[in-house]
Amino acid sequence: GTSVLLITHDLGLAAERADTIVVMNQGEIVESGPSREILENPQHPYTQRLVAAAPSIASQRIQAKVEDRGILRESDIDAPATVKVTNLVKEYKIRQGGFRSEQFRAVDDVSFEIPRGKTLALVGESGSGKSTIAKMVLKLEAPTSGSIEVDGVNTGTLSAKDTFNLRRRMQPVFQDPYGSLDPLRSIGNLIAEPLNIHKVGDNASRRARVEELLEQVALPQELASRYPNELSGGQRQRVAIARALALKPDILVLDEAVSALDVLVQAQILQLLAELQSELGLTYLFITHDLAVVRVAADLVCVMERGKLVEQGTVDEIFAQPSQEYTRRLLDAIPGASLSLGGA
């Protein structure tokens, strides 16, 4: 008999769990009423935008504003892989007390390929091994066995110099835009940091590149002199993306890169990523627990469970006909997945 006040930006969750919804914008209530009524027939423009942006109730891949985008043809899947992961294993020693320890297999014989210019999503619950794979792809951790190839080169055999050069081609964007930016450095310095580390250009050319990157991620030039605490979460994540693009990489590893953002900002960042992918020919490895985001952001999906890859295929195949019970449970757990709501 407990009364619950649920604060959320997830409209699917609100529709499933709440009897009444109150929609707020800039400190004011713009609409309220029975949850199904509000979501099936939103009256206020802000509510309509929220419903339209919710990935949990969206039904198709985000389209970049260019022709022939988002259609995965057989020829694309058969194209040479930019990233190829083969029989990847990662084991850790877990101490059991005293001098005893036992092996824990976090990643267990995982193989997948990402065609150039496409997005592969690694999905699964916490502890499924997906972020461990991201760290190994980025060479932040070494595999116990198996191999990772980038354009046919085994990254495990690279010298320190070649690894340094690889980092120019492959950049991360992390989950927390609040924790991944140094609060003591200006936005301009943060974006220029990879250019400084890799000694690219002089001061003038770096400043010009920062201006170009701010424009690319749709941020005003005057933010270059500001600091992270002066920016919203969505602006910070745009800065993180700009920094990742500074060295003109062709691969981005996005580890839960939109999960900390509210639904409207999340939609903007996903649209931005789709447009950058089209414009720059980027290849994305997208790590996420959110299958709703996968539906609108990825071409291919690999489903992880307890370190094993249990299912993989195109997003359309997996969502339409999942072959594994675990995948079906993940899909059924998407809040609001069964709802057909106004504006979606």
Percent of the chain surpassing pLDDT 90 = 52
How big is the CA angle at 249 (ends 118 and 270), to the nearest 5 degrees?
50
Q: Could you give the CA distance from residue 239 to residue 105 in angstroms, rounded to a whole number?
A: 35
Q: Could you give the CA distance from residue 127 to residue 122 in angstroms, rounded to a whole number?
A: 13
For domain 74-178+248-332, which CATH number applies: 3.40.50.1980, 3.10.580.10, 3.30.450.20, 3.40.50.300? 3.40.50.300
Q: Give the residue-averaged pLDDT of 106-123.
A: 94
pLDDT for the residue 77 = 55
Q: From the CA atom positions of the chain, what is the Rg in Å?
A: 21
Q: Give the residue-averaged pLDDT of 243-251.
A: 92
Side chain identity, residue 263: V
Q: Could you give the CA distance from residue 93 to residue 101 in angstroms, rounded to a whole number?
A: 6
Domain ranges of the chain: 11-53, 74-178+248-332
Confidence bin at 299 (pLDDT 50/70/90): very high
pLDDT at residue 252 tops 90: yes
19-33 per-position pLDDT tens digit: 999 999 999 999 999
pLDDT for the residue 85 = 96
Phi-psi region of 139 (alpha: psi -120 to 50; beta: other; left: phi over 0): left
| CB of 56 closer than 8 Å to CB of 270 | no
| CB of 325 closer than 8 Å to CB of 305 | no
pLDDT at residue 342 tops 50: no
pLDDT for the residue 63 = 55
Residues 6+ away with beta carbon under 8 Å from 128: 304, 305, 306, 307
Q: Could you give the CA distance from residue 245 to residue 242 in angstroms, rounded to a whole number?
A: 5
How big is the CA angle at 229 (ends 225 and 232), to the nearest 5 degrees?
95
pLDDT for the residue 74 = 47
pLDDT for the residue 336 = 67
Angle between helices 233-245 and 263-280 (to 10 degrees): 20
212-239 per-position pLDDT tens digit: 999 989 899 999 999 999 998 889 989 9
pLDDT at residue 49 tops 70: yes
| CB of 275 closer than 8 Å to CB of 112 | no
pLDDT at residue 48 tops 50: yes
Which of 219-223, 265-269, 302-306 has the least mean pLDDT?
A: 265-269
pLDDT for the residue 258 = 84
Confidence bin at 272 (pLDDT 50/70/90): confident
pLDDT for the residue 69 = 43
